[in-house]
Amino acid sequence: MNSLSTQSYKGSRDYFPEDKRLQNYIFNTWRKTVESFGYEEYGAPLLEPLDIYLAKSGQELAGEQTYAFQDRGGRMVAIRPEMTPSISRMVAARRQEMPMPARLYSIANFMRYERPQRGREREFWQLNADLFGVDGAIADAEIIEMGHANIINFGAKQDMFTVRVNHRQLINRLMDGYLKLDIVGASMMTKLLDRKNKISAEEFKQQAVEIFGSQANEGLPKLAEMIGIKSVNDLPEELADDPSVKQIREVMDLLVKKGIKNAIFDITLMRGLDYYTGTVFEFFDNSPENNRALFGGGRYDGLVGLFGVEPVATVGVGLGATTMQQFLEVHGLLPQLSSHTDVYIIPVDKESLPGADTLAQKLRAEGVKAELDITGRKLDKQIKTAAKKQIPFAVFIGEDEIKNGMYTVKNLAESNEQKVDFDRMITIVKDRRYDSDDDDSLFEI
Amino acid sequence: MNSLSTQSYKGSRDYFPEDKRLQNYIFNTWRKTVESFGYEEYGAPLLEPLDIYLAKSGQELAGEQTYAFQDRGGRMVAIRPEMTPSISRMVAARRQEMPMPARLYSIANFMRYERPQRGREREFWQLNADLFGVDGAIADAEIIEMGHANIINFGAKQDMFTVRVNHRQLINRLMDGYLKLDIVGASMMTKLLDRKNKISAEEFKQQAVEIFGSQANEGLPKLAEMIGIKSVNDLPEELADDPSVKQIREVMDLLVKKGIKNAIFDITLMRGLDYYTGTVFEFFDNSPENNRALFGGGRYDGLVGLFGVEPVATVGVGLGATTMQQFLEVHGLLPQLSSHTDVYIIPVDKESLPGADTLAQKLRAEGVKAELDITGRKLDKQIKTAAKKQIPFAVFIGEDEIKNGMYTVKNLAESNEQKVDFDRMITIVKDRRYDSDDDDSLFEI
């Protein structure tokens, strides 16, 4: 038989301990951030009926990018490509009993069949956080504030990124009343604006001309004028009193009060998914090396109602772990993460193994993470393994140590050692922990 | 359009916050246990080439129970039904660089197309922990000790469960040299013994007769005799010196030294998966209400080598979260888990919302999990929501509180309240945390 390939499935990643540590650092920071706002974790199934994506996720996502197949019982299912339909279904299932407002989050993996590229994987991990049961700017502002805190809490500064805010109703009014596009033209224009920064100005203009068709002469200048609007105050008069504009103003005001200085109104911000109904927003990286959308979200008041229950006002945000990692890399915000293991216990000879095992048990009972070398190898080989694993301390156990209860603790990074008793050993090895799990402080804005 | 169903996909579960809290309690206890032994977390892809399961997982699992399908690029893939092949592939991919011995764990979901029943779901969550690079009883004993600690650390006592130990080589020798079965007969007998406790004595005998065929007259008494063997000392003389028997003795001796009093030799313990090569073990619940296998594992030295690299001695264990939950329920070991959120902030009127928002920000910066009611509802409705969410404390914010910096903190479970300053409020709400995350002590054997 030929040997099997060691490659992971295309577009998916193997997370070796050093990779997983970094992913966990991101997950833990997110978890602490959203829990600090009172959001509670839920879990959703990996598979859903394909229907729930066809209903509202848009043709590209539901039709072309899902991992959809028939199960052995003939059901058409898909590996979830996003969380919003699942959590909407879950809220609908508990529409009566669930205390409202409900603040819910999850950290989960998703799959989309796309061409893998930098920052885009077929299997990817996201934080999703949604606020159910509160309408209006105050809820939108909370979700944006929380998205903001999800970056700030890694030690980021506000000038490293920008929050762009728009409103789906305003987009609709612009497409219809201002640019005079019908529903098909509006949909195409929305997608074109979504791609605006990824294509050339020439290409953009050419495609806009195609969308306007016979109306291009009137449409193009209006489009150019629209793109030039940088503030809600510059909107055409007939839109100034639109409820959507009022809501954008309110959201922006609330963000300023919350101390958020990097939020702007962006009339070209679309958001591809069909289900948004109100405020939409995206977080953009300001770094020239990574000038791209980090994540986004918005209001989608109609999704829960699709499951045959009374609709619920909903606003949510979704953050990808790989995109976040790239942001942190570009801005030099990734900490050095060593092993979680506190101490590597090294028996100096085979006879000391049982005593070393007992010491390991005693340390573990005190909450120390203690790995025991059971190979019977020479000392230098054991030390090398500890260093290669980036474990901060080694403890040597021989006949003397077992008898006297005094232990040599070697700091492997600093290459110094000290002879201490059991209690002191615990203090030393616990004191160096970097782990964000062991500390619940968060950065302030 | 008809409304979509709120049902989750058959055999999978929605984890609402109270369910997820419980699952996280199990995950966190496991995580702390295995990390206390120096195991490091990894993550593996959701999809693998179907080949890697066909190679060694056995026909039932790979052929009949996988969620296998062709991706849009024509690759035959499967949603992982187990972790062992994935982690073996990953270790093979880093065969040269990875420091050995390697201690690795993951907590992940899996899917198998089986008939859903109590304790068996199509989508299920498992802890997998494996020790790579150490041969022999000492490594087997560490894995069993860690499995043991994974139950004990929930507060279980040793008399609540039993560890059963056997050895794949001994099984092979019994089938071949003792029961005189050929390879097909041995495979059928192994499966029959696996089902022994699930079928009647009559049915067991009848199927044994079929397997022995013309040899039934000699075979049946030998099988009965074999099943009667309760100690390695009672094994037939020709097996007494077999290396497998020696290894079982060593494992049992080491377990006793580690303080494990509930491990027994069980000659009828098989373990279904094809890849085991040495020691095998299972943990059984002793409760009459739940008298069943909880989880198991064993040595599989051949898997890494299938990926075209030098083989690695490996022993591992896998624990299911739902089975663990049932064990904890039956033995009354499940704690009452309230919300993670520390405090629900209740503005007494609309004018107090901005001040309440500022207080929420200040509390979050101190690591307090603070949910803010932004609905503008009446006080009693806000309090009801906090109680329904099982949040332990409510804080009321009005004009006075904002001015004086003195806050009324209401303990919602005990229905008492006190007026305190900001620092005291932080102490009060943090003091009641049950969360095992915030505390790293573990139970001792």
pLDDT in tens, A166-192: 999 999 999 998 899 998 999 899 889
Interchain contact, B357 vs A257, CB within 8 Å: yes
- Region B253-267: mean pLDDT is 96
Query: Of all residues in chain A, what percent are helix, strand and coil, respectively (each to 5)?
Result: 45, 20, 35
Q: Beta strands B102-111 and A263-265: pairing type? A: unpaired
- Structure confidence at residue A434 as a pLDDT band (50, 70, 90): low
Closest listed residue to residue B392, CA positions, set B411, B415, B365, B366: B411
Report in angstroms the alpha-carbon separations of B248 from A209, B11, B165, B173, B263.
Answer: 79, 38, 8, 14, 11
Which among B14, B42, B364 is the nearest to A90, CB-wise? B14
Give this prediction's pTM.
0.94
The pLDDT assigned to A273 comes to: 65
When mean pLDDT is compared over B117-131, B151-165, B170-184, B207-221, the highest value belongs to B151-165
Chain A nearest CA to B184, separation (Å): 21
State pLDDT tens for residues A356-414.
Answer: 999 999 999 999 999 999 999 999 999 999 999 999 999 999 999 999 999 999 999 88
Contact yes or no for B357 and A307 at CB 8 A: no
Please state the separation of Cα A240 from the chain's center in Å.
Answer: 35
> Is the sign of the CA dihedral A112, A116, A120, A121 positive or negative?
positive
Domains of chain A, earliest start first: 17-330 (3.30.930.10), 343-437 (3.40.50.800)
Give the integer Cα–Cα distance in Å for B333 and A223.
65
- Going edge to edge, which strands form the sheet with A293-299? A40-41, A102-111, A123-132, A314-320, A293-299, A279-285, A161-167, A263-265
Number of Cβ within 10 Å of residue B290's Cβ equals 17
Whether the Cβ atoms of residue A158 and residue A260 lie closer than 8 Å to each other: yes
**Do B307 and A5 lie within an 8 Å CB cutoff?**
yes
- The predicted pLDDT at position B1 comes to 54
B chain contacts of residue A44, beta-carbon cutoff 8 Å: 8, 14-15
* Number of neighbouring beta carbons within 10 Å of residue A391: 25
pLDDT of residue B273: 65
Q: Indicate the pLDDT class of residue B56, thresholds 50, 70 and 90.
A: confident
Element (H, E) at A285: strand A279-285
B139–A12: do the CB atoms touch at under 8 Å?
Answer: no
- B246: pLDDT strictly greater than 60: yes
Contact between A3 and B307 using a beta-carbon 8 Å cutoff: yes
- Give B79's strand partners: B47, B67
C-alpha distance from B368 to closest chain A C-alpha (Å): 6
At residue A407's C-alpha, the angle toward residues A419 and B149, to 5°, is 145
**Does residue A232 sit in helix, strand or coil?**
helix
What six digits make up the tokens of B338? 């309230």
Under a CB-based contact definition with an 8 Å cutoff, are residues A106 and A318 in contact? Answer: no
pLDDT of residue A1: 54
Nearest CA in chain B to A362: B444
pLDDT at B437 over 70: no
* Reduced DSSP (H G I as helix, E B as strand, rest coil) percent helix, strand, coil of chain B, to 5: 45, 20, 35
Report the residue from A16, A93, A369 with minimal CB separation from B35. Answer: A369
Query: From the CA of A244, how many Å to the nearest CA of chain B?
Result: 20
Token pair 């390695």 is found at B232
CA atoms within 13 A on the CB side of A3: 17
Check pLDDT > 70 for residue B440.
no
Q: What residue in B sits closest to A305 (Cα-Cα)?
A: B3
- Is the pLDDT confidence value at B80 over 70? yes
> A15 to chain B: which residues are within 8 Å by CB?
42-44
Identify all chain A residues contacting B17, using CB atoms and an 8 Å cutoff.
40-42, 104
Please name the residues in contact with B359: beta carbons below 8 A apart, sequence gap of 6 or more: B345, B370, B395, B397, B402, B407
Instruction: Read off the pLDDT of residues B200-233 as tens digits, 9 standing for 90 and up.
Output: 999 999 999 999 999 899 999 999 999 999 898 8
| Amino acid in position B106 | S
Other C-beta atoms closer than 10 Å to the C-beta of A405 total: 10
CA dist B345 and B369 (Å) reads 10
Residues of B in contact with A19 (CB under 8 A): 42-43
**Given phi > 0 = left and psi -120 to 50 = alpha, else beta, which region is A207?**
alpha
Give me the pLDDT at residue A196, please.
Answer: 86
Mutation site for B-interface testing, chosen from A3, A6, A437 by largest number of B Cβ within 10 Å: A6
The whole-number average pLDDT for the span A102-122 is: 92
Give A430's Cβ-side CA count (13 Å radius).
Answer: 18
Q: Which tens digits make up the pLDDT trace of B119-139?
A: 789 999 999 999 999 999 999
Which helix (H) or strand (E) segment holds residue B257: the answer is helix B243-257
Among A21, A52, A353, whose Cβ lies nearest the Cβ of B4?
A52
- B155 and B47 in contact (C-beta within 8 Å)? no
State the pLDDT at residue B99. Answer: 95
DSSP, collapsed to helix, strand or coil, labels residue A182 as coil
Contact list in B for residue A47 (CB cut-off 8 A) is: 9, 12, 67, 111, 123
pLDDT band at A440 (very low <50, low <70, confident <90, very high): very low
Sheet containing strand B67-70, edge to edge, reads B47-49, B76-79, B67-70
Q: What is the mean pLDDT of chain A?
A: 92
Confidence class of residue A25 from pLDDT cuts 50, 70 and 90? very high
pLDDT computed for residue A137 by the predictor: 97
Residue by residue, DSSP assigns A287-318 as -GGG-SEEEEEEE-TTTGGGGSS----EEEEE
The answer to whether the CB of B295 falls within 8 A of the CB of B319 is yes
- Residue B441 is classified by DSSP as -
- How many residue pairs from chains A and B have C-beta atoms closer than 8 A? 292
Q: How far is B114 from chain A (nearest CA, A)?
A: 10
Mean pLDDT of A6-21: 96
Task: Note whether B75 contacts A9, CB cutoff 8 Å.
Answer: yes
Q: What pLDDT digit, counting tens, does each position of A204-254 carry?
A: 999 999 999 998 999 999 999 999 998 988 988 888 889 999 999 999 999
